[in-house]
Chains A and B, each alone.
Chain A
């Protein structure tokens, strides 16, 4: 079963849906830019080598330091960067083992791209006290941030915010929905 709600590759788009959609659109635009890599690479004047690369099935390009980040890599299905949602056990802010490679990849990616900014959102399921859940969501987001920093992200690059139980992904009351809702979302800012 693959509903939008439990598809881990789905871009988070709530709350601040407008901002998120703008960010997603920016990523898509950059993705579309992939098609022109080779052409640009050739034009950038690496000359015969570029042509050789083309025949070898490679894509080479020169780097313009003023160019905005090539964020298309974030949507490459072959990297852990595509995963931007981490799930947690009940009443726990411990990062599950299967999420460690994901956060390692994002931490390194942020380290390589110091111009990038990310907001980590912490969420909980609906059970128990709301104010306690707000703190629990915060601790989940902070745990994610800590690990991102350990892998190279700068302190100023990552913000955290907790929504507690206020923004469930699956607004239902059952074990599966609760498991979906106990999460942290990694949201790259659009600029």
Chain B
């Protein structure tokens, strides 16, 4: 299936990528020439489009000394992390003019000529035991000085974790905001297993796995295998439990699983559907969708007592509850107006208010950590995209390319959104940044024959 262009005013990615270095150079030249006429500045900014916030940075491969030969390369992991955020323009490794390992070896003027604002350098040498001494520096190319620097002792198995830790430090040092690179995600992986005998026309058997992985999709660890569908994983606020839906009993049921012990508890198995679990911010209740009383409505389950209480009561479909961070408002999908749209209501009752009006299909709401933005699945011209609505300014923006994007969740810092992409039988995870329009697949989840979907952050 061909992927239709993203319906935004932004130019196509390839065009932008080619135009950007020249545009950046023009901006830099303009900044250095005080007499540049104002009109030209405006033209330059227009060419850059949504990219004005991207900080150019070079991540130099870490120097290895003393026979250190780690299998994990730190610099490419940091480069990918920073690029994913949309707030950095990472110089391609092939364009690096030198590979200094410390500030003393850096010719700042040549990096400035390349338009680089910041430089990440570092080194790795064997430690006393079976580990490494790792050192990194974040350098400001304009000032010609060190912004941050630190040494670590780290085992081979922790080099990826170290890389993400450094990404978080760099992100914080330059943007002032927290990174989200060291956090973990959960997702459902589906693989095909050939049916016995074959030739019956039946599709092959599916195998389902619930996986916990690094934020970039690497180091995936299966915490549950099943032969019946799994969906809708959701992290507890304390990040030690996952709620999810399993079809192991024939129909849908909601389970909560303790990650450390693997202990599972069935928390909803009523007649009809039991789906779409969402943790309250205090971790004591789950909002779920039940149809035990007829139509699909939102209910709260108290996890201690097991008591349930209806939040919505409507003959239409109400599902996919999402909590506002204050724990007092629940957003949900409903087709009470004829088509699926996002609504909200108070946890302790109150009016039901429609929130989305853009297009005829908006579903799967999720709130940014600050509660200021709402991400959702948005249908436009037959394709499904991830879109974000600013709840305070009522602005609406399509973030992802489509055509079959689903299941959005915000990064813990709210700066980008994770979702599943694909179509035509394949599915993988992807992120789209709110700043800088960076749409980036999680390459570790792009495996032939596998479907990776239903991500949760």
Contacts and interface: CB of A to CB of B under 8 A. Distances in A.
A96 interface: no
Contact of B425 (A164, A167, A173): A173
Contacts of A5: 201
Interface in A51-86: none
B141 to A, nearest CB: 45
B379 A4 contact: no
Nearest to B251: A161
A139 B203 contact: no
Nearest to A5: B201
B247 A166 contact: yes
Nearest to B361: A128
Given A131-B320, A166-B229, A173 B364 contact: no
Interface in A92-121: none
Interface in B335-352: 335, 339-340
A166 B317 CA distance: 18
B407 A129 contact: yes
B231 A166 contact: yes
B216 interface: no
A13, A130, A136, A160 pick with most chain B CB within 10 angstroms: A130
Nearest to B317: A135
A157 interface: no
A4 B202 CA distance: 8
A33 interface: no
A91 interface: yes
A43 interface: no
A50 to B, nearest CB: 42
B433 interface: no
Nearest to B376: A129
B201 A130 contact: no
B273 A162 contact: yes
Contacts of A167: 229
B175 to A, nearest CB: 32
A130 B404 contact: no
B320 A132 contact: yes
B250 interface: yes
A15 interface: yes
Contacts of B319: 131-132, 134-135
A162 B251 contact: yes
Contact of B404 (A3, A127, A131, A160): A127
B330 to A, nearest CB: 14
Given A161-B250, A162-B252, A131 B364 contact: yes
Interface stretch (B127-135, B161-169, B288-296): B288-296
Contacts of A174: 1
B272 A160 contact: yes
A131 B247 contact: no
Contacts of B272: 138, 160, 162
Contacts of B251: 161-162
Which of the four size classes fits the interface of chain B? 35 or more
Contacts of A129: 320, 333, 340, 363-364, 377, 406-407
Q: Of residues B295, B296, B339, B377, which shows the largest number of chain A Cβ atoms within 10 Å of its Cβ?
A: B296
Instruction: Report whether over half of chain A's contact residues are helix, strand or loop; otherwise say mixed.
Output: loop
Most buried by B among A3, A138, A139: A138
Max chain A C-beta neighbours (<10 A), residue from B273, B333, B361: B273
B231 A168 contact: no
A132 B376 CA distance: 12
Contacts of A16: 250
A161 to B, nearest CB: 5
Given A16-B250, A130-B232, A139 B384 contact: no
Given A15-B228, A16-B250, A130-B232, A3 B201 contact: yes
A17 B361 CA distance: 34
A166 B273 CA distance: 14
B231 A130 contact: yes
Nearest to B202: A14
B78 to A, nearest CB: 34
A171 interface: yes
Contact of A168 (B203, B247, B333): B203
Contacts of B456: none
Interface string B395-412: 000000000101100000
B81 interface: no
Interface string B222-233: 000000110110
Contact of B296 (A4, A127, A135): A135
B281 interface: no
Interface in B169-196: none
Contact of B333 (A132, A163, A173): A132
Nearest to B229: A166
Contacts of A13: 202
A134 B230 CA distance: 12
Contacts of A17: 202
Contacts of A126: 404
Nearest to A166: B229
Contacts of A44: none
A175 to B, nearest CB: 10
B261 interface: no
Given A91-B339, A166-B229, A173-B1, A132 B317 contact: yes
B180 to A, nearest CB: 24
A49 interface: no
Contacts of A91: 335, 339-340, 361
Given A130-B407, A131-B320, A134-B231, 20 more contacts: A3-B201, A4-B200, A14-B203, A128-B340, A129-B363, A129-B407, A130-B231, A130-B406, A131-B275, A134-B252, A135-B289, A139-B296, A162-B273, A164-B252, A171-B203, A171-B425, A172-B424, A173-B404, A173-B425, A174-B1
Nearest first, the 3 closest Cβ-Cβ pairs linking A and B are: A4-B201, A135-B296, A129-B363
Interface of A: 3-5, 13-17, 91, 126-132, 134-136, 138-139, 160-164, 166-168, 171-174
